[in-house]
Structure 1
């Protein structure tokens, strides 16, 4: 990921905790008053190759766009590599606990649609493969330029070997298998992937085996490839690619 790092917290309607660490929080953005209300909550999981220097602030425009479309929005934070407890298993534990907390909130309408970008795309695809996915009231997930195949990311040395930094080991270990969405196919809920042809941060090839093997295993998985879109177009509400993102979310609600 190449966007500017930031440690500032976004401005939002409210912030709730799902754990004792300062990073175990999520912001709640209510739907825009001018938009038709949608009975669903979009959970936005930011990217940044799971590293501490990238926080949820850069996903705020995307979150506001979903709120403008009528959704309740949760903008999630989690412990990341370089922070106490970040990496595997702590980051995965955070995603599990975050979703349990959101699912239990009576003021956040169900179902939940998870939308993750880059490393966040990995985290939502990982959640889609867990046995508790339906218990958390997840209708489906949308992976935007997601690192959905850790093996492919490792072979391409994405993010200067960010995958090994995240897992703490290489392919073939129990920790690797526990974190790789490829290990839990088919996903337990529908998965929609949106990728750009001009993405040189997480190339299209990273999704190929995931899509093929998930479909072969009977999973409800589709991929939308957006011509000319780079890694960040899919989280930019001003980009033409964002129409494909909204369509993917709406297909699950």
Structure 2
């Protein structure tokens, strides 16, 4: 019987806290193993937004032959904070990589994160073979200064960048370059939740640091459209992921030259 893309086959725990779980789906394509996708949801670090946001993408990827790990983590209001939230995602990737489930699904390990999930996936780039960042938060201090997400950074971090510069630097992918990992950034040109200028500045700095980052900015792509598998952009993302083995080879070859 083929796996049901609507139903996870396994739930992994990677810590003692209730949110520290990973729902795992097997590929629904018999004999196929494109690799494993690690999904990291957004929601501006707030507990009321959870991993169910990424289930439509999980089901689509499973149908395309990927195994999928949908990560839950501690957020503001259920034990999260910084660095705990970032550590959770890194711990989840380690748990996935060490699991028997992962060993049964060979191929690249690709992180796909949306909004602050993009932030968290980018910060775990050294553990992944590639990263797809969908409308990512890349600069926590700038997010605070601009009051984005109804002042989400002030709420989550509990201090300003001036009061806690080290925390904001550690939580900002733009301050943790180079990634050293192939990456794709997808960011709608008229996104209001996370302005596309954040990604443009991040990409410019990442490329100056030696990273190879692909970028697409569809004009009409709204913030939540980025995690809609019916979006016209999603087939492009899937196509990019299909080329990850070649991307990994290119980056590793250039870094060893």
TM range (shorter): 0.7 to 0.9
Map 1:176-195 → 2, pairs under 5 A: 176-195=168-187
Q: Which residue of 1 aligns with 2:251?
A: none
Q: Which residue of 2 aligns with 1:101?
A: 95
The gaps in structure 1 that reach 5 residues or longer are 1-9
Equivalent of 2:38, from 21, 37, 43? 43
Contact kept? 1:17, 1:26, Cα under 8 Å: yes
Q: Structure 1 pair 157/28, CA: closer, same or farther in 2 (3 Å)?
A: same
Equivalent of 2:153, from 141, 155, 163? 163
Equivalent of 1:19, from 9, 15, 18? 15
Distance 2:239 2:160 in 1: 36
Matched, 1:142 2:132: yes
Distance 1:38 1:227 in 2: 33
Contact kept? 2:38, 2:69, Cα under 8 Å: yes
Q: Report the structure, 1 or 2, having the larger helix content.
A: 2
Contact kept? 2:187, 2:217, Cα under 8 Å: yes
Matched, 1:90 2:80: no
Q: Which residue of 1 aligns with 2:208?
A: 216
Q: Which residue of 2 aligns with 1:6?
A: none
Per the normalisation by structure 1, the TM-score is 0.87
Distance 1:190 1:150 in 2: 22
Distance 2:148 2:124 in 1: 21
Distance 1:55 1:205 in 2: 26
Q: Structure 1 pair 251/224, CA: closer, same or farther in 2 (3 Å)?
A: farther
Equivalent of 1:247, from 239, 244, 249? 239
Larger Cα-atom Rg: 2
Comparing 41-50 with 188-197, which one deviates more in the overlay? 188-197
Distance 2:179 2:14 in 1: 25
- CA shift, 1:82, in A, is 0.9
- How many aligned residue pairs are there? 235
Moved over 4 A (4+): none
CA shift digits 1:158-184 (9 cap, x unpaired): 111212323332225211111111111
Matched, 1:71 2:66: yes
Per the normalisation by structure 2, the TM-score is 0.86
Matched, 1:207 2:199: yes
Contact kept? 1:142, 1:248, Cα under 8 Å: no
The gaps in structure 2 that reach 5 residues or longer are 1-5, 246-257
Equivalent of 1:59, from 54, 60, 80? 54
What is the root-mean-square deviation of aligned Cα atoms in Å?
1.7
Distance 2:8 2:107 in 1: 20
Distance 1:111 1:55 in 2: 25
